Structure 1
Amino acid sequence: DFQGKCLLFTEGMWQNENMTMGKQRFIVEEWGPESSCRFITFVGIVSLILSDVQAWRTFFSLCKGHDDSLFHAFLNLLLCLLVVFVVFVAGTISSVGFSAWCDSVTENGVMPSSCEDLQDTDLELGVDSNSFYDQFTIAQFGLWSAWLCWLGLTVLAFLKVYHNHRQQELLDSLVQEKELLLGHPLQRSSCNRNAMI
């Protein structure tokens, strides 16, 4: 628990506590922006809710045999693209921000301990910094896994739009062929164009 402080992008340095004992203490120069941690938390929660809604819609469509129109499939594609982008941004903020913290706490690798080893060290920051490495590793894994899942959903949504578009073209083509074979003028296609506008 960091008591409302954000570990991402936090800057600090090691200083000797006193000259005789040579004991070092980590001093935080500037805590990271709270908005980074809040954004990542918000994106994780919204992504979870949207994935539940998406699963329900898919289950409903499969059980009821309901098929989306081209317009609804396109809206679904836009939503998936938006979520993929936002989750990618959150994953990048998490990875880059945590890397900046680890570079700060290990002094860019100069310290003999790694960032993972330092999670068991009391950094005396006035916050509970135990297992920070494990927690942020799990958070990064979750964000990047969510990104991959939403990327897969986006590909499926694109294929659905493509399939619906091709199906609509096929239906229009079959109607035109039928009218040509029956000798009727192509009045229906002009009505369809007016209806689409």
Structure 2
Amino acid sequence: MLRLRSSLPPLRSRSFSRTQNEPNREDGKMALDNLIFAQCILYFLAFVFGFIAVVPLSENTEDFGGKCLLFTRGMWQNENITVSKQRFIVEEWGPESSCSFITFVGIASLILSAVQAWRLLFFLCKGHDDSIFNAFLNLLISSLVVFTVFLSSTIVSVGFNLWCDAITEGGTMPSSCEDLQDTDLELGLDNSAFYDQFAIAQFGLWAAWLTWLGIAVMAFLKVYHNYRQEDLLDTLIHEKDLLLGRSSRRNSDLKTGLI
């Protein structure tokens, strides 16, 4: 009978540990839902900024007839000796691959962010979550997008500055780069909005880069959260095995005491 009484307190401690773990699970689920909601908002912002960047880039490609304005070199020359009117002569148009690359990155960012936002919104409504492999894969993809968007943003900024230096002769012209979009450069194309188009495109790409950087940070936190949850699950399983082992030993001791 003494052995029977001594076995009762551990049984109460086991029920206490079970109730103690329940708030931790609820807090973990709430933190995970907040993380998914934050990711969903960032993906939506990445979609908006990608749209802001892609539209003016497409318009500029159409206005310039497929010619790439970025890294274009040229100079102002007099039309003839008697007339002082100057005309901008393009020495070499920029590589079309530069404009194609930034447009492709903008469209890819636009599509990927839309798919991920819809996917996470579905998970949030249904209460689902990514597996550890999918969370790690999202981290790799987000890191790759951060790098490519940063590269395309740098190409736009540097290439457009070189174009503005060319048409303003390094800032020696009385008109600024923004003012010259209202001047007919007589290039056989529509240059009436190039400055506004690339100013908006630069804003959209750099804002998209900052947003994707936040998405990558969130993806890392999610991988870390899943890793901690796996450690917690392994710990709970280990505690369960220990409790089951202790329970079996108590039952055997109880049977031995009764005999």
TM-score by shorter chain over 0.5 = yes
Q: Aligned partners of 1:53 and 1:149: how far apart in 2?
A: 16
Aligned twin of 2:166? 104
CA deviation after TM superposition for structure 1 residue 55, in Å: 0.4
Aligned twin of 1:44? 106
CA deviation after TM superposition for structure 1 residue 20, in Å: 2.5
Aligned twin of 2:240? 178
CA deviation after TM superposition for structure 1 residue 147, in Å: 1.1
Q: Which has the larger radius of gyration?
A: 2
Query: Which structure features the higher share of helix residues?
Result: 2
Q: Aligned partners of 1:33 and 1:167: how far apart in 2?
A: 50
1:165 counterpart = 2:238: no
The counterpart of 1:7, out of the listed 66, 69, 90, is: 69
CA deviation after TM superposition for structure 1 residue 166, in Å: 0.6
1:88 counterpart = 2:150: yes
Aligned letter for 1:144? W
CA deviation after TM superposition for structure 1 residue 183, in Å: 3.5
Aligned letter for 1:38? S
Aligned ranges for residues 144-163 of structure 1 at < 5 Å? 144-163=206-225
Q: Aligned partners of 1:113 and 1:19: how far apart in 2?
A: 23
- Describe the superposition over 1:48-95 as per-residue Cα deviations: whole angstroms up to 9, x where unpaired: 000100101110110110011111100111111111111111111111
The counterpart of 1:139, out of the listed 194, 201, 215, is: 201
Give 5+ residue unaligned stretches, structure 1.
185-197
Aligned length in residues: 184
Q: Aligned partners of 2:212 and 2:101: how far apart in 1?
A: 18
CA deviation after TM superposition for structure 1 residue 177, in Å: 2.8
The counterpart of 2:84, out of the listed 4, 22, 29, is: 22
Root mean square deviation, CA, Å: 1.2
CA deviation after TM superposition for structure 1 residue 182, in Å: 3.8
TM-score, scaled relative to structure 2: 0.69
Q: Aligned partners of 1:177 and 1:99: how far apart in 2?
A: 63
Runs of 4+ in 1 over 4 A off after TM superposition: none
CA deviation after TM superposition for structure 1 residue 119, in Å: 0.5
Q: Aligned partners of 1:183 and 1:64: how far apart in 2?
A: 37
Aligned twin of 1:195? none
Q: Aligned partners of 2:99 and 2:245: how far apart in 1?
A: 67
SS in 1 for 2:169: coil
SS in 1 for 2:188: coil
CA deviation after TM superposition for structure 1 residue 181, in Å: 4.1
Give identity over the alignment, percent: 76
Q: Aligned partners of 2:166 and 2:208: how far apart in 1?
A: 28
TM-score, scaled relative to structure 1: 0.90
Q: Aligned partners of 1:57 and 1:154: how far apart in 2?
A: 16
- Describe the superposition over 1:93-137 as per-residue Cα deviations: whole angstroms up to 9, x where unpaired: 111110110011111111111100110011111111111100111
- Describe the superposition over 1:127-179 as per-residue Cα deviations: whole angstroms up to 9, x where unpaired: 11111100111111111121112111111111110100011011112222333
